[in-house]
Amino acid sequence: MAPYEALYGRRCRSPIGWFKVGEAGLIRPDLVHQAMEKVKIIQERLKIVHSRQKSYTDIRRRDLEFEVDDWVYLKVSPIKGIMRFGKKGKLSLLYIGLYRISKRIGIVAYELELPSDLTAVHPDSLSYDEEIPVHILDPQVCKLRTKEVASVKVLWRNQFVEEATWEAEEDIKKRYPHLFEFREIPN
């Protein structure tokens, strides 16, 4: 008996199992009983494995309980291709802020104290002070097999030179064109 048939209780409809009408022969009753017993054994073993895996998971899982005046972070849902707080991909933030719970609304719903100077409801505007680039330290062009990638080393506000990061020149030009206005082009 195939695992698919044992698990779902019906045969797998693959091109191998498509028979024309009248081709399938009769099956003896003892073979049917043997198959049914094997199906029961397989289903019991699957239940055992499922319960074992569930017990492993339940040990590590815990329900979160919050009280009024607790401090919490808000989770920012990842959306593929969307830039959050100036970073995209695995460097984008997962949690933002530290907000106080002001009251409990329901069983798992809470009301938070948000800053009064919010300009938009979008999570990106909640309480993140965006880093502002101060100066471009060094341009660089990486040559790959088929293309060239231009990047610049950017010094950010409130950071040391050692903490400067390499960013794509195209992105920095779009977001901060003033950094490129008075830059001399090397010959």
CATH code (residue 171)? 2.40.50.40
Range with the poorest average pLDDT among 23-27, 65-69, 122-126 = 122-126
Please count the structural domains in the chain.
Answer: 3
**pLDDT at 121 exceeding the cut of 50:** no
Residues 167 and 118 in one domain: no
**pLDDT at 123 exceeding the cut of 50:** no
Residues 75 and 55 in one domain: no
Contacts of 161 (CB under 8 A, 6+ apart): 137, 155
Who has greater pLDDT, 123 or 82?
A: 82
pLDDT at 180: 83
Say if 36 falls within a structural domain: yes
Residues 139 and 120 in one domain: no
Q: What does residue 162 show for φ and ψ, rounded to 5 degrees? A: -65, -20
Question: DSSP H helical segments within the chain, as ranges?
Answer: 3-8, 29-60, 169-175
Q: Which of 79, 102, 125 is the last residue of a domain?
A: 125
Q: What does residue 155 show for φ and ψ, rounded to 5 degrees? A: -95, 125
Residues 119 and 76 in one domain: yes
What's the domain range around 51?
Answer: 3-60
pLDDT at 43: 94
Q: What is the pLDDT of residues 167-181, one digit of tens each?
A: 889 888 888 888 887
pLDDT at 12: 72
Who has greater pLDDT, 12 or 38?
A: 38
Residues 47 and 78 in one domain: no
Say if 22 falls within a structural domain: yes
Say if 120 falls within a structural domain: yes
Say if 187 falls within a structural domain: no
Model confidence band, residue 113 (pLDDT cutoffs 50, 70, 90): confident
Residues 78 and 116 in one domain: yes
Residues 15, 9 contacting (CB under 8 angstroms): no
Model confidence band, residue 44 (pLDDT cutoffs 50, 70, 90): very high
How large is the average pLDDT for residues 86-105?
Answer: 74
Residues 15 and 44 in one domain: yes
pLDDT at 40: 93
Residues 138 and 119 in one domain: no
Residues 53 and 82 in one domain: no
Say if 186 falls within a structural domain: no
How large is the average pLDDT for residues 28-45?
Answer: 87
Model-level pTM? 0.35
3-state secondary structure of 50: helix
